[in-house]
Amino acid sequence: MIPIPVANLPRHIAIIMDGNGRWAQQRGLPRIEGHARGAHSVRATVEECCRLGIGQLTLYCLSSENWKRPQTELDFLMTLLEHYLIEERREILDQNIRFTTIGRRSGLPDAVLRQIDENIRISQDNTGMCLCLAINYGGRTELIDAVRDVAAQVRDGKLDLDAIDEAVIANSLYTTGMPDPDLLVRTAGEMRVSNFLLWQISYAELWVTERCWPDFDRETLHQALRDYAGRERRFGGILTTDD
């Protein structure tokens, strides 16, 4: 495996973990088996990102649109999430991970919220990679909440209308204080961003793999990183040379 210079690694990786149900159906298994297997890919990816020194990893766990799924599947996902939060607590501490989440808390079971809050509490002083789980998250919902926050500041006289700029909006997003993603990875071959971090991925490099999330492994991650390292990031400008 060809090593990637640290300077060429993304500071923040965001992943749309797609294809759990498809992976299971292709093997004649219930969809929930795909979600269970996907949890193993989460752990392997978190461990490898920590080893590489990635600053932040954001995982799209549950979108605000996923509530349309069958109740049995949703119940399993909530139970799986609760167990994951408990079982990975030791890993979070051992890896010096700072844990956080983005998304609306309303609608999540109390048991899940308790485990989220506990993981945030015990890891708040950690100085390693930030692991952010997007749970009950939607990019448009986030923008609506940000607009409401900015409007309230203007209404209350805390913010002048003419002072609203990109920084003001960014500070009202769920991700305030976090760097924007440098690399957005999507599994299962889907060519869309699915309402994920719509503001934040404006200049992110996109990388899609045909592999479903349960098959996402260390080598697939390294393939994405090698591809990212070979790209020229211009941010709307042009590259300058010595010529």
Dump pLDDT digits (tens) for 178-235. 999 999 999 999 999 999 999 999 999 999 999 999 999 999 999 999 999 999 876 6
Answer yes or no: is 175 within a domain. no
Candidates 203, 196, 150; CA nearest to 181 is 203
Check residues 4 and 155 and name the one with the higher pLDDT: 155
Q: Exposed, middle or buried by CB within 10 Å (0-12, 13-18, 19+), for 87?
A: exposed
Tell me the catalytic residues: 18, 66
Answer yes or no: is 243 within a domain. no
Answer yes or no: is 147 within a domain. no
- CATH at residue 19: 3.40.1180.10
Give the structural domain span for 112: 7-138+180-227
CA atoms within 13 A on the CB side of 60: 27
| DSSP codes joined into one string, 152-194 | HHHHTTSS-GGG--HHHHHTTSTTTTSPPPSEEEE-TT--S-T
Report the distance separating Cα 52 and Cα 129, nearest Å: 10
Answer yes or no: is 148 within a domain. no
pLDDT at 1: 55
pLDDT at 243: 44
Q: Work out how many domains the chain is built from and give that number.
A: 1
Dihedral over Cα of 25, 31, 32, 37: its sign: positive
Dihedral in degrees, nearest 10, Cα atoms 197, 199, 204, 207 = 40
Dump pLDDT digits (tens) for 5-60. 778 999 999 999 999 999 999 999 999 999 999 999 999 999 999 999 999 999 99
Answer yes or no: is 99 within a domain. yes
Q: Report the predicted TM-score, pTM, of the whole model to 2 decimal places.
A: 0.92
